[in-house]
Amino acid sequence: MNLPADHIRLLFGLKLRQLRLDKGLSVSELAQQSGLSVSYVTEIEKGRKYPKADKISALANAMQVEYDTLVSLKLSKKLEPISDLLRSKFLTEIPLELFGIDPSDLLELLAEAPAKVSAMIRTFMDIALSYNMSVERLYLTMLRSYQELHDNYFPEIEADADRFLSEFAPTPSQPITEGLLTNLLKTRYGVHIEYFDPLAQPELVSLRSVFRPEHQTLHLNASLSVEQRAFILAREVGFQFMHLKNRPYTYSWVEAESFEQMLNNYKASYFAGAILIRRDVLVAKLSELFARDAWSNDAFLQLITDFGATPERFFYRLSNVLPSQFGIDQLFFYRFNHVPGQTTFQLTKEMHLSRQQGPRGIVDEHFCRRWIAWTILQELQFLQQNKGFDSTLCRAQLSEYADSGLQYLIISVAHPFQPQFQQNMSVSMCFAVNDALKSKMKFLAESHDVKSLTDIPFRVVNQTCERCGIFDCRERVAAPTVLQKKRQFAAVKKAMDALK
């Protein structure tokens, strides 16, 4: 594999520093014996300079090693993780600048303390292997962190969406229609649109779209709903309008070849949400909803319908707008999938703008069955099986975590998802109940104690059964093993402290 020049400089500097230390030489001693300046040797060791052949020979002679030994990019065993890191795609594909990291600073850190950084890298790699973390999962984790770092609001993409709207739909009441998007793709961007039948091609049943760049053809799944189709078309317009060339060609993506692909996929999706759900219109409608004296599930569902969005896409747009426009930034979002008749619920997506509570992906534990995200799926299953109901439900719940006392308002929407697999989905937005939230939502501000609200059910919940001390819980499905171990440890510590 060809390495970038800055990586080659760093590897050479690491090798030089390693050999110098092995020989028991200081920087000044090596400089004196090689006829080079101290500052120049320091620059080499930090990976900032790569010496010419005559200077490499001088350094090799000073340390009594072969020229080839010094220029070899092979490092000692304890520094191999750094070599592996530099040879991997990590430093070249991850745009570290997004996280406020100057790549040159990272390289200098590697040069300054190679052994310690090497141990840290080895630890991270081992953790990733232990959790079977694929490259795609690592990219997703980094992308989610990037979203959370910016409260999932990106003014530059909003500005692109505003430019698009001012050009193609300047009137606020003018919706972005499927016809407009289709016409733009065909006439302005030369994209052909075709449909594939997932029943005739079952291998493609999980894909909503496939883009073939060699033919400039967007293949759409014929079973998509109107809302799903509009989003896919708007997303494709986003790729074209924002000139995002490095991109995945399937949705959902089959594999991510680079972090840039995943980031551009996110940008195009963000753009699609922004043009389909206009920021100013959404802010106005949310303000009306929040000014109500009482919460209304039906009014919230109607809001989703008015924007022609899927519940998930609407919640994602909320996560863009609420922090930036309302100052409501203590929130998190999660999605569960469930097959009616089964007792398992799969957490398939999460995003946290609040660092306090939330489901998070805890391995081998059972999430609390009192969450509205689960009970709404159970209610939907009952209605489907006994009432022939096959539509969308909305429910709200005020939840108080038993272990912390933190309170959350959770709004959850459940609906049939992928009918061919007989699967349902719930998406939930959770808001930390605090003064900022109460100041924006009148139906919360009317009561000093949210437990007394009559229009929103209140329940004490917890994170998982294994960590929960609500021992009379009828919904419990597993023993509180983690809690028991924690209490046993506390008892041992107390007994140790009592020893004299």
Of the candidate ranges 87-96, 247-256, 384-393, 394-403, the one whose mean pLDDT is the lowest: 87-96
pLDDT of amino acid 151: 87
Which residue, chain included where needed, has tokens 């605090």? 434
Looking at the DSSP assignment, which residues form a beta bridge with residue 458?
Answer: 398
Per the model's pLDDT, the better-predicted residue between 351 and 167 turns out to be: 167
Same domain, 345 and 208: no
Same domain, 84 and 205: no
Q: 196 falls in which pLDDT band (50, 70, 90)?
A: very high
**Positions of E strands within 442-485:** 458-461
As for how many domains the chain has, the answer is 3
Q: 112 falls in which pLDDT band (50, 70, 90)?
A: low
**Count of H-run helices and E-run strands, the chain:** 21, 10
Last-in-domain residue among 276, 303, 322: 276
Over 80: is that where the pLDDT of 359 sits?
no
Q: In what order do the strands lie in the sheet with 331-338?
A: 346-352, 331-338, 423-432, 407-417, 393-401, 458-461
Over 80: is that where the pLDDT of 342 sits?
yes
77-86, 255-264, 272-281, 434-443: range with highest mean pLDDT: 272-281
CA dihedral sign, ordered 416, 417, 420, 423: negative
Separation CA 487–CA 493 (nearest Å): 10
User: Is residue 304 in a domain?
Assistant: yes
Over 60: is that where the pLDDT of 357 sits?
no
Separation CA 344–CA 134 (nearest Å): 24
20-24, 340-344, 426-430, 445-449: range with highest mean pLDDT: 426-430
pLDDT of amino acid 194: 96
The CATH number of residue 214's host domain is 1.10.10.2910
Looking at the DSSP assignment, which residues form a beta bridge with residue 427?
Answer: 335, 413
Peptide bond into 296 cis (omega under 30): no
* For range 460-477, the mean pLDDT: 89
Of the candidate ranges 106-110, 270-274, 391-395, the one whose mean pLDDT is the lowest: 106-110
DSSP for 161-222, please give it.
HHHHHHHH--STT----HHHHHHHHHHTS--EEEEE-TTT-GGGTT-SEEEETTTTEEEEET
Separation CA 427–CA 293 (nearest Å): 25
* For range 320-347, the mean pLDDT: 89
pLDDT of amino acid 360: 55
Same domain, 303 and 434: yes
pLDDT of amino acid 355: 56
Residues of the chain with pLDDT > 70, as a percent, come to: 83
Over 90: is that where the pLDDT of 160 sits?
yes
pLDDT of amino acid 258: 79
Same domain, 309 and 421: yes
pLDDT of amino acid 421: 61
23-32, 95-104, 357-366: range with highest mean pLDDT: 23-32
Same domain, 256 and 118: no
* pLDDT tens string 204-242: 988 999 999 999 999 999 999 899 999 999 999 999 999
Which residue, chain included where needed, has tokens 């959350």? 408
Kindly give the pairing relationship between strand 192-196 and strand 217-221. Answer: parallel
Of the candidate ranges 107-111, 346-350, 423-427, 495-499, the one whose mean pLDDT is the lowest: 107-111
Same domain, 47 and 18: yes
Q: Nearest Cα to 117, choosing from 75, 81, 76, 74?
A: 81
Kindly give the pairing relationship between strand 393-401 and strand 458-461. Answer: parallel
Same domain, 201 and 311: no
pLDDT of amino acid 1: 52
Per the model's pLDDT, the better-predicted residue between 136 and 142 turns out to be: 142
Kindly give the pairing relationship between strand 458-461 and strand 423-432. Answer: unpaired
Q: Are 465 and 476 in contact (CB under 8 A)?
A: yes
Last-in-domain residue among 231, 249, 276: 276
337 three-class SS: strand
Q: 121 falls in which pLDDT band (50, 70, 90)?
A: low
Of the candidate ranges 37-41, 213-217, 452-456, 491-495, the one whose mean pLDDT is the lowest: 452-456
Tokens of 173: 């009441």
Looking at the DSSP assignment, which residues form a beta bridge with residue 335?
Answer: 349, 427
Q: Average model confidence (pLDDT) for the chain? A: 86
- The CA-based dihedral angle spanning residues 89, 91, 93, 99, taken in that order and rounded to the nearest 10 degrees: 150
User: Is residue 435 in a domain?
Assistant: yes
pLDDT of amino acid 365: 83
Q: In what order do the strands lie in the sheet with 217-221?
A: 192-196, 217-221, 209-212, 250-251
Q: 93 falls in which pLDDT band (50, 70, 90)?
A: low
Over 60: is that where the pLDDT of 361 sits?
no
User: Is residue 75 in a domain?
Assistant: yes
Instruction: Give the range of the structural domain holding residue 26, as residue numbers without chain letter.
Output: 5-133
Of the candidate ranges 122-131, 142-151, 304-313, the one whose mean pLDDT is the lowest: 122-131
Same domain, 460 and 338: yes
pLDDT of amino acid 445: 78
Q: Nearest Cα to 82, choosing from 47, 49, 119, 108?
A: 119
Same domain, 325 and 447: yes
pLDDT of amino acid 192: 96
pLDDT of amino acid 48: 84
Last-in-domain residue among 133, 157, 189: 133
User: Is residue 263 in a domain?
Assistant: yes
pLDDT of amino acid 145: 81
* For range 7-31, the mean pLDDT: 87
The CATH number of residue 17's host domain is 1.10.260.40
Per the model's pLDDT, the better-predicted residue between 343 and 241 turns out to be: 241
Q: Are 87 and 46 in contact (CB under 8 A)?
A: no
Q: What are phi and psi of 25, to 5 degrees?
A: -105, 145
User: What are all long-range contacts of 33-38, with beta carbons under 8 Å and residues at least 24 apart?
Assistant: 33/62, 34/58, 34/59, 34/61, 34/62
Q: 254 falls in which pLDDT band (50, 70, 90)?
A: low
pLDDT of amino acid 267: 96
Helix (H) or strand (E) holding 400: strand 393-401
Separation CA 344–CA 338 (nearest Å): 7
Which residue, chain included where needed, has tokens 């991850």? 94
- What is the per-residue burial (b if ≥16 Cβ within 10 Å, else e) of 352-380? bbbeebbbeeeeeebbbbbbbbbbbbbeb
Q: Nearest Cα to 75, choosing from 83, 67, 64?
A: 83
Same domain, 86 and 167: no
Same domain, 302 and 192: no
Q: What are phi and psi of 373, to 5 degrees?
A: -60, -30
160-164, 380-384, 442-446: range with highest mean pLDDT: 160-164
Separation CA 397–CA 375 (nearest Å): 10
Per the model's pLDDT, the better-predicted residue between 114 and 403 turns out to be: 403
Same domain, 396 and 457: yes
